[in-house]
C-alpha cells in the first residue's frame, strides 16, 4: 500500500484522502467523486459517507487494514500486532492471556508498557520530522516568495489614477462598485490557474497591490475570484471555464449513479476439501470482500467456518453468487423481505447444516 506513505495522520485514521474532485481509498484504487448523492439499498449517502461505507464493506475496518501492513508498516512485532487487535476488540487482560497463551498477567502488562513507550517515541519522531519539514520549506520556499513579492502589478488605464506614483500601490479602496469588480479581475491575473497557494503566498502577492491585503483577499473570495479550503490554508484562482466543466462532470456522475444499482441476493461459501457450505444473503455482493477479510484475520463470528478456514487454507474455499435479485420479479416487496424468502428457499434446498455446512439451524 504505497499510498499510505504519503498519507497524513488524519487521512490514515479515516482510511481515505481527498482532492478537489474525489475521495480516494488508501487501501485500493476506489475513488468516490465529490458532489454526488449515492443510493445504498434504501438510503442515500453523501460522498464522504459513501466512501466510509466502501471501507466498511470491502476492507472491514481502517484499524484492521493499517494493522495488516505488518512490521514494515507499523514497526510492531507479530505478538504486539495480535495484542493490539485484541485490545481493539475490547478484550480484557485475562481474555488476551488465554487467547495468546501467555503465561502470566505481568507479561501482558509489559507488552502494554512497551506499546505506550513506542507511542511516545512515535510522537517525538513526528514532531522532529514536522520541524525538519518546516525548516526545509523555509529554505526552499523563500527564494520563490521573494520572486513573487518582486512581481509588479500594472493596473489598466481606467484604474491608474487610484494608484500611487511612488510605490505603485492602490491608495484607497474607496472605489465605485464596477471599479472594484474590474480591480479584482485584474488582480486575479497575477495568479496562475490550477496552482494551489498558501495564505502567506496570497498575502505576498496582494500586498504589492494594496496595503490592506486582507481586505483585498476577502473581496476576491466574496466575489468568487479566489477559492479557499475550509481551514483557509490553501487558495486557488477560480477559472470560470474550469468551474463550468466541473459542473458538467458532476451532472454526468449523478446520472450515472442513478443508472447503476447495487447487486444483491444469495451467496454460498463452499469448502472444496470437505464439501461443507455456508449459505447467506446480502444487500450488496461487495460485502463478500469484508467476509474474506474477517476470515483472513481470524475474527469471523462463525467459529466453525473460521476453524476450517485456518485448517484447510483460503485456497480451498470458493465464493459464489447463487442468485442475484431482479426486482422486476418482486413488485411491491421490500429488499429485506425478498432476501428472507430467497434465503429460506436455498436453505431448504441445500440443507447446509451439521456435517453438510456451517449454517446454524433455527429452532421454530
Q: Which domains does the chain have, with CATH numbers?
A: 2-116 (no CATH), 163-242 (1.10.10), 265-356 (3.40.1440.10)
Highest-scoring range by mean pLDDT, 41-45, 266-270, 301-305 = 266-270
Could you tell me which of 173, 186, 248 has the C-alpha nearest to residue 216? 173
How do residues 76-100 score in pLDDT, each as one tens digit? 888 888 888 888 888 888 888 888 8
Percent share of the chain, pLDDT over 70: 87
Contact status, residue 181 vs residue 217, Cβ threshold 8 Å? no
Residue 243 has pLDDT above 60, yes or no: no
* 211: its cell numbers: 496595503
> Taking the chain, what is the end-to-end CA distance rounded to the nearest angstrom?
48
Could you tell me which of 124, 144, 126 has the C-alpha nearest to residue 134? 126
pLDDT band at 305 (very low <50, low <70, confident <90, very high): very high
Residue 266 has pLDDT above 90, yes or no: yes
Average pLDDT rounded to a whole number, residues 288-311: 90
Question: Rounded CA gap, 289 and 59, in Å?
Answer: 7
Could you tell me which of 62, 61, 65, 98 has the C-alpha nearest to residue 83? 98
Contact status, residue 202 vs residue 226, Cβ threshold 8 Å? yes
DSSP per residue over 162-215, as a string? Answer: GB-TTT--B------HHHHHHHHHHHHTTSPTT--EEHHHHHHHHHTTBS-HHH
Backbone torsions φ then ψ of 145, nearest 5 degrees: -65, -40
Question: Rounded CA gap, 78 and 84, in Å?
Answer: 10
Task: Check residue 255 and give its pLDDT.
Answer: 65
Contact status, residue 115 vs residue 83, Cβ threshold 8 Å? yes
Contact status, residue 109 vs residue 319, Cβ threshold 8 Å? no
Average pLDDT, the chain: 84
Question: Rounded CA gap, 32 and 53, in Å?
Answer: 11
Eight-state DSSP code of residue 5: G
How many C-beta atoms surround the C-beta of residue 337 within 10 A? 11
CA of residue 170 relative to chain centroid, distance: 44
Contact status, residue 297 vs residue 60, Cβ threshold 8 Å? yes
How many C-beta atoms surround the C-beta of residue 358 within 10 A? 23
Amino acid at each position: 500500500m504505497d499510498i499510505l506513505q504519503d498519507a497524513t495522520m488524519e487521512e490514515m485514521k479515516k482510511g481515505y484522502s481527498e482532492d478537489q474532485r474525489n475521495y480516494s481509498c488508501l487501501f485500493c484504487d476506489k475513488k468516490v467523486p465529490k458532489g454526488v448523492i449515492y443510493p445504498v439499498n434504501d438510503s442515500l449517502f453523501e460522498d464522504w459517507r459513501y466512501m466510509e461505507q466502501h471501507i466498511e464493506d470491502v476492507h472491514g475496518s481502517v484499524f484492521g487494514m493499517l494493522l495488516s501492513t505488518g512490521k514494515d508498516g507499523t514497526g510492531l512485532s507479530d505478538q504486539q500486532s495480535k495484542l493490539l487487535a485484541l485490545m481493539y476488540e475490547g478484550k480484557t487482560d485475562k481474555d488476551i492471556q488465554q487467547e495468546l497463551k501467555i503465561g502470566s498477567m505481568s507479561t501482558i502488562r509489559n507488552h502494554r508498557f512497551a506499546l505506550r513507550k513506542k507511542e511516545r517515541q512515535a510522537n517525538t519522531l513526528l514532531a522532529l520530522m514536522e520541524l525538519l519539514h518546516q525548516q526545509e520549506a523555509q529554505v526552499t520556499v523563500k527564494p520563490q516568495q521573494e520572486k513573487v513579492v518582486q512581481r509588479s502589478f500594472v493596473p489598466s488605464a481606467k484604474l491608474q489614477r487610484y494608484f500611487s506614483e511612488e510605490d505603485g500601490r492602490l491608495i484607497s479602496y474607496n472605489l465605485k462598485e464596477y471599479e472594484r469588480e474590474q480591480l479584482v479581475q485584474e488582480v486575479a491575473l497575477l495568479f496562475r490557474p490550477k496552482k494551489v497557494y498558501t495564505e502567506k503566498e496570497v498575502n505576498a502577492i496582494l500586498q504589492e497591490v494594496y496595503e490592506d491585503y486582507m481586505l483585498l483577499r476577502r473581496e476576491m473570495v466574496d466575489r468568487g475570484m479566489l477559492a479557499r479550503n475550509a481551514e483557509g490554508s490553501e487558495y486557488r484562482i477560480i477559472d470560470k471555464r474550469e468551474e463550468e466543466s466541473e459542473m458538467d462532470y458532476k451532472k454526468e456522475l449523478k446520472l450515472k449513479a442513478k443508472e447503476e444499482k447495487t447487486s444483491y441476493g444469495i451467496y454460498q461459501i463452499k469448502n472444496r476439501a470437505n464439501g461443507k457450505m455456508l449459505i447467506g444473503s446480502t444487500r450488496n455482493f461487495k460485502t463478500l470482500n469484508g467476509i474474506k477479510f474477517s476470515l483472513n484475520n481470524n475474527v469471523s463470528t462463525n467459529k466453525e467456518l473460521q476453524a476450517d478456514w485456518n485448517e484447510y487454507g483460503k485456497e480451498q474455499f470458493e465464493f459464489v453468487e447463487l442468485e442475484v435479485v431482479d426486482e422486476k420479479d418482486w413488485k411491491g416487496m421490500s429488499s429485506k423481505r425478498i432476501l428472507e424468502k430467497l434465503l429460506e428457499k436455498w436453505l431448504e434446498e441445500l440443507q447446509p447444516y451439521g456435517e453438510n455446512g456451517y449454517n446454524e439451524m433455527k429452532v421454530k
